[in-house]
Structure 1
């Protein structure tokens, strides 16, 4: 296997959520239902009383469903199955993205948490605009970087310098999909520092 393919595989594994827990829960539930059905079938074949319901009773009940009015419990069970199906459909189709980004590297898979990137971007923005640490906040999304500057009341912040510093910092990371960068000033000022 090539090194680049191996690096991409590791990076993907680290940036996407595992669906193993949902798979395990589903498998255990199916195994329990199948064990119960198998036990009921064996008990019916050997002439012993059923644990809950014999296969003959289930067959008669299913045959009578076409003409009978549906009980509320059966309707509730059907709604529960539909909701479970929708849950699994959403789980299968969702990307399952963790709050991490992959930085450019030819030698290794470098995966960094979004909070680390946000702290570095905030530091660059506040250094460039001469603000205190609590006056700059950064939010990192999958494809966006939003920096919010809270200048001191009565003062203006150098948003252009902060924007340039943020763009330089993000460019240094070499992200595979460059995010949309938005640097803006808060309408509410901070107390003088």
Structure 2
């Protein structure tokens, strides 16, 4: 396996969340149920007393469920099982993504948390506009950066200068996936900043 391929694999493992917990939990529940059914079957073959119910008792109970249960209960149970199935299917197929981005590097795998990127972008925007630390907040998502600027009351800020500073900051990171910044300057200013 060459170095580029292993670096890509490492980055992917850091950016995407594992499904191991859901898989182990589902497999454990199913294993307990099947082991219990196997135990009950062996006890029935040995003509011993069942732990909970023999296979014959379970079959008789299952055959009588439609007659002994109100239709709304059957519908609710079916809907609950369908929702559980959809949740398990979504957990299995949906790509779980952590709030991280990868930087392009020829030598190593570099993964940075979105909060770190947001902090750096906020600092750069704040310094370019000459604002206090609490006046610029940034949120980073999978494909977007949103910069919220709250200027000092009565003092205008240059939105284009902030946009250029944010673009330069993001370009310096060489992110593996392009994220587009949006700058929003609040109409309400901050007092005494």
Residues of 2 paired with 1:160 and 1:26: CA distance? 52
Aligned match of 2:23 = 23
Aligned match of 1:57 = 57
Aligned match of 1:175 = 175
Residues of 1 paired with 2:11 and 2:162: CA distance? 30
Q: Deviations over 1:144-169 (max 9, x none)?
A: 00101100111111211111010001
Aligned match of 1:2 = 2
Q: Residues 40 and 23 of structure 1: is their aligned pair in 2 closer, same or farther, counting only changes over 3 Å?
A: same
SS at match of 1:148: strand
Aligned pairs, number? 192
Aligned match of 1:163 = 163
Aligned match of 2:186 = 186
SS at match of 1:101: strand
Structure 2 unaligned spans of 5+: none
Aligned match of 1:92 = 92
1:65 positional shift: 5.4
1:87 positional shift: 0.9
Q: Within 5 A, what are the aligned runs for 1:34-49?
A: 34-49=34-49
1:76 positional shift: 4.6
Residues of 2 paired with 1:74 and 1:31: CA distance? 25
Residues of 1 paired with 2:159 and 2:12: CA distance? 35
Q: Within 5 A, what are the aligned runs for 1:80-119?
A: 80-119=80-119
1:50 positional shift: 1.3
RMSD: 1.7
Residues of 2 paired with 1:111 and 1:147: CA distance? 22
Residues of 2 paired with 1:148 and 1:65: CA distance? 59
Structure 1 unaligned spans of 5+: none
SS at match of 1:151: coil
